[in-house]
Amino acid sequence: MEMITSASQMQSTCKQLTRSGKTIGFVPTMGYLHEGHLALMTKARKENDIVVISVFVNPLQFGPHEDLDQYPRDVEQDMELAKQVGVDYFFYPTVDEMYPKALTTKLTAITRVNALCGKKREGHFDGVVIVLMKLFNIVFPDRVYMGLKDAQQVAVVQGLVDDYQLPTRIIPIATVREGDGLAKSSRNVYLTDEERKLAPILYESLKKAERLIHLGERSADQVVACVKDELIKTNAVIDYVDIYAYPTFERIEKLAGQLVLAVAVKFSQARLIDNVIIKVDEV
């Protein structure tokens, strides 16, 4: 595995690989890798000649009062884990390398963002699409692997690819979970021992609501209430519980088609998100 810190070197390397007929699988990350990231890399390894990952904590995704400086980082551990699953190139640019000067143009995420995390994190998804457009133009990936733990991000990035006819495919990968159902996340390290015991209720509440839908419930309000009734058993503050059409994130009242049911809660030092994607037939 080769580490590259220069955007121009990474770009020239990937251009050469593409010209030689190699397929490139790409996993963009913010580092502090865990089993969820490794599942993306493993899938990329199976489906491509070359696997590239990026580790870059993108400042444009963080609001003024969010945890940019506190975001966990361990590049040596990240490199070791990436090497174990067969990554070929580890792209590790600095902020100055990715943003050497002030942007003269800007991408803006218009739809799919006024819900869930995007509703309260103004500009967050603008930062996501800006950095990914840059990364896609550096790596030239044939396939990009993204986890469905952040289903809204997957939907927004798919919109970016569709809108600009980018020559890559987004490959969504199911959320990787702990044995008790808690979604793997870099932020889980912020949970206290007691909070860690309570955190699996997020997924349990989503699965209970999913069962309710499959039993015939078609009221969005009733499904949301079911999840909230479970979440109040924790000491966490509920940020949101909501259900939307997926991937459009259009508001619905009667449940039908493909949906995303999502939650976010705030513990003392950790904000956790989770979701389930459900296909619902008319009844």
CB 26 within 8 Å of CB 13: no
In what order do the strands lie in the sheet containing 50-55?
A: 2-4, 89-91, 50-55, 24-29, 143-147, 169-173
Transcribe 20-62 into DSSP letters. Answer: TT--EEEEEE-S---HHHHHHHHHHHHH-SEEEEEE---GGG-
Q: How far apart are CA 209 and CA 29, in angstroms?
A: 31
Residue closest to 262 by CA, chosen among 154, 179, 180: 154
Which helix (H) or strand (E) segment is 261 a member of?
strand 257-266
The conformational region for residue 21 under phi > 0 = left, psi -120 to 50 = alpha, else beta, is left
Largest CA distance in the chain: 57
Active site residues: 37
Residue closest to 188 by CA, chosen among 170, 174, 206, 175: 175
Residue 250 sits at φ, ψ, to 5 deg, of -85, 145
